[in-house]
Structure 1
Amino acid sequence: MRLYSRSAGSGTPVVLLHAFPFSSAMWQAQREGLARACTVITPDLRGFGGSPLGDDAPSLDVMADDVARLLDREGIERAVVGGQSMGGYVTMAFCRRHADRLLGVILADTKAAADPAPARENRERIAAAVLRDGPAILVDEVLPPQLGATTARRRPMVSGRVRGIVQSAPPPAVAWAQRAMAARPDSFDTLRALTAPALVIVGDEDELSPRADAEAMAEAVPDGRIAVIPEAGHLSAMENPEAFNHAVADFVRSLP
């Protein structure tokens, strides 16, 4: 994790971890829109956005430790750490391994449950297909369910931007990340053990990580709260950035 963007804002550091198979480019609206509320740090997770993949075996724990090393390099002792979809999985791994470094947690359009066997098998199928044939399967299968119905119908610029980022995803990183996500553990015990406040965000049109999943996560955290983003699917930060940013800013301001 060598490449990342940091907003020019001041105040509470907020690390935002991108979804699969994206890069920190997905957080452009957050870097701009949240600069007055906090300092936004948006890393490229290993293998994505030009960040080196390295030789480690696929593991979300490896990504979480990358985030801790980034904080060390930036001289940041504690931060709000959050992510969307895969970035949420990495955030929960960070909660397990580096809980003492958390000011708060943001989990957007993600799940705490481990993958059931059919989902793990599908991730391996996609990993193998990407390594063999390139990113076509991402455009055909992975991308469509990530966008909410409103975005698909009314926001062609957002749809086009999402498609462009997906098409540029490096196949080795895609396969590595799929295998890392397939091996992730159930994280509900991690959420129950959190001492930091947590904000769970969900798009009201998210069919991949629906509202019921978000409510279960928010209820598991001792100091958990939920924000529902209207007219947004699985990529709520890109589909309705104004509402997403408002929820994050309010959460950051509420922290002690």
Structure 2
Amino acid sequence: MSLDINVPIETHFADVEGMQIAWRSQGQGRPLLMLNRFRASMADWDPELITALARTHRVITFDNAGVAASGGTVPDTLEGAADIAMKFANVIGQDRPHVLGWSMGGMIAQIIAAKYGDAIGGVVLAGTTPSFALEGTVPTPQEWLATATKEENTTEDMQFLFYADTEVSSSAGLSSLARIGQGNATAGAASKTTMQTVGAQGAATRKFFFGEDGAFKGLDNIRVPVFVANGDKDRAFAVENALALVRAIPDAQLAIYPDAGHAFLFQHAEQFSEDVTRFLSGL
């Protein structure tokens, strides 16, 4: 299937318990529900990755409650966000979707895998972490958190947050930001959500980080197939955290991508999409 990376994708709205949830769909096949990172909207996915995944799946991106174009308020826990994501999938008629969660979205995907295993297919955990209460994890550095929560991020900030300090990775980062910004890297880096959203998501994520919501206790109960992926130079969530996830989740698979940071899935979009497709095939 040939898909044009430059064709605008129509935005739809689904009524989920009175909240208007904004969403988009691209491609055909088994649904792949995409759970986004902290403070991102669905406009922050790299089109190259979405187009690559849409060759074999119906890729569904959306803004969860209280985020960007969606109504409602941001849930006070990531479990609340997981519940809304599954209700949304049900409302739009997607039976047993695969789930791909990146960063904060990967934390939400862990909860979905533990809580809704019978209602989903495979799960991809990209550039994410379990709770820091789990043995073997490395907490996120304060410098990264401080940069991630600034009111506005520059292209330099985004390079620090998402890419490695090498010529190859930095160049890939600028190219990705330009694709997201439709030819303008500065527009790609610009915040598309409010500071109210940032604060609410930050509070829910902190509960997850420090084990206050108990999400880490459900990892060994996960019975759906799980693929864990990470960049080898991720500043946000070190490779040790990916290893901790694989140790905790029964039969989880692992891939580490070279010379890459938190947005390895954009830098290595083709290879990552091939690996995801291979993993999900036949599930």
How do 1:183-202 residues align onto structure 2 when only pairs under 5 Å count? 183-184=207-208, 185=211, 187-202=215-230
Residue 219 of structure 2 corresponds to residue 203 of structure 1: no
Q: Determine helix, strand or coil for the equivalent of 2:49.
A: helix
Shift of 1:56: 5.8
Question: Could you list the per-position Cα deviations for residues 153-199 of structure 1 after superposition, in whole angstroms to 9, with x for gaps in the alignment?
Answer: 55423245475344232211111111110112354432211110100
4+ long deviations beyond 6 Å? 118-127
Aligned residue for 1:42?
61
Match of 2:101 among 83, 86, 92: 83
Contact 1:126 1:175 (C-alpha < 8 Å) held by counterparts? no
Aligned residue for 1:178?
202
Question: Could you list the per-position Cα deviations for residues 65-90 of structure 1 after superposition, in whole angstroms to 9, with x for gaps in the alignment?
Answer: 11111111122231211211011111
Match of 2:88 among 61, 65, 70: 70
Match of 2:260 among 229, 232, 240: 232
How do 1:1-256 residues align onto structure 2 when only pairs under 5 Å count? 2-10=21-29, 12-25=30-43, 26-52=45-71, 54-55=72-73, 57-114=75-132, 135-136=151-152, 138-139=153-154, 143=158, 144-149=160-165, 150-153=168-171, 155-160=173-178, 161=180, 164-184=188-208, 185=211, 187-255=215-283
Q: Equivalent pairs: percent with the same residue?
A: 24
Give the root-mean-square deviation of aligned CA atoms: 3.0
Structure 1 gap ranges (5+): none
Q: Distance in 1 between matches of 2:280 and 2:146?
A: 39
Q: How many aligned positions are there?
A: 246
Structure 2 gap ranges (5+): 1-19
Q: TM-score, normalised by structure 2?
A: 0.75
Question: Could you list the per-position Cα deviations for residues 102-135 of structure 1 after superposition, in whole angstroms to 9, with x for gaps in the alignment?
Answer: 211111010002479x9799999889x86xxxx2
Contact 1:124 1:179 (C-alpha < 8 Å) held by counterparts? no
Q: Which moved more, 1:194-203 or 1:204-213?
A: 204-213
Q: Distance in 2 between matches of 1:154 and 1:141?
A: 13
Counterpart amino acid of 2:118?
A: D
Q: Determine helix, strand or coil for the equivalent of 1:9.
A: coil
Q: Distance in 2 between matches of 1:248 and 1:19?
A: 18
Contact 1:85 1:108 (C-alpha < 8 Å) held by counterparts? yes
Q: Determine helix, strand or coil for the equivalent of 1:167.
A: coil
Contact 2:75 2:81 (C-alpha < 8 Å) held by counterparts? no
Contact 2:130 2:245 (C-alpha < 8 Å) held by counterparts? yes
Q: Distance in 2 between matches of 1:178 and 1:123?
A: 13
Q: Distance in 1 between matches of 2:54 and 2:147?
A: 37
Residues 223 and 48 (structure 1 numbering): CA distance in 2 closer, same or farther, change over 3 Å?
Answer: same
Counterpart amino acid of 2:104?
A: M
The structure with more helix, counted as a fraction of residues: 1
Q: TM-score, normalised by structure 1?
A: 0.83
Shift of 1:57: 5.0
Q: Which moved more, 1:156-165 or 1:69-78?
A: 156-165
Question: Could you list the per-position Cα deviations for residues 185-244 of structure 1 after superposition, in whole angstroms to 9, with x for gaps in the alignment?
Answer: 354432211110100010122122122211221122212101122332101222221121
Q: Distance in 1 between matches of 2:46 and 2:176?
A: 13
Contact 1:192 1:222 (C-alpha < 8 Å) held by counterparts? yes
Contact 1:21 1:166 (C-alpha < 8 Å) held by counterparts? no
Contact 2:127 2:262 (C-alpha < 8 Å) held by counterparts? yes
